[in-house]
Structure 1
Amino acid sequence: MKKPSQPDTIREDILVKIFSGDLVPVKVLIADVERRQNIHLDKLSKYQEIEQENFLKTEELTKAEKLKYLVLKAGIRCEIEWLGWCDEALEILKDL
């Protein structure tokens, strides 16, 4: 716990598929991105539900609860970023 943390390398199958996407029909890539988009929408919804149920009154949270909330907020932001990427990817893929 006392050692500094380091960012992890992104290892996502979907990025490898997109990078090598010229090997398959575009419709395969679109279907996979749409599937991932639905997964990220579901995760975001669950995270936001947890936020609404447990973290509305941030001023009343204990130290431990505030730390957990910070982790939840990171998860929410991550899902929002993935959804933005999916939108952008679909826009580009549908234009190919």
Structure 2
Amino acid sequence: MLVVETIAKIRRAHFIEGKSIKQICRELRLSRNTVRRVIRSGATEFSYDRTTQPRPKIDPWRSELDGMLAENVRRPKRERLTLIRIYEELR
């Protein structure tokens, strides 16, 4: 994702300083397609929005894990489960 400062550097280098796209790519370490897209569009900020948010892989065990962690906090320090032990319990 490009930040506004990088977009400003690209546009300044191309339009004011007259640098070529290839030279801008080398200096800012960006791809030519990215630099071209910034120069051709008038946008000052690019962002990517997901159409659907993927569910986390741990979601089916979330309630069980939350219960384990809550119970683990109530235990005395010496009896608490380690991360490896929690993993084995979930497995």
Q: Same fold (TM over 0.5)?
A: no
Q: TM-score per shorter chain, which class?
A: under 0.3
Using the size of structure 1 for normalisation, the TM-score is 0.25
Asked which structure has the greater RCO (Cα within 8 Å, sep 6+), the reply is 1
Please say which structure displays the higher CA radius of gyration.
2
TM-score, normalising length from structure 2?
Answer: 0.26
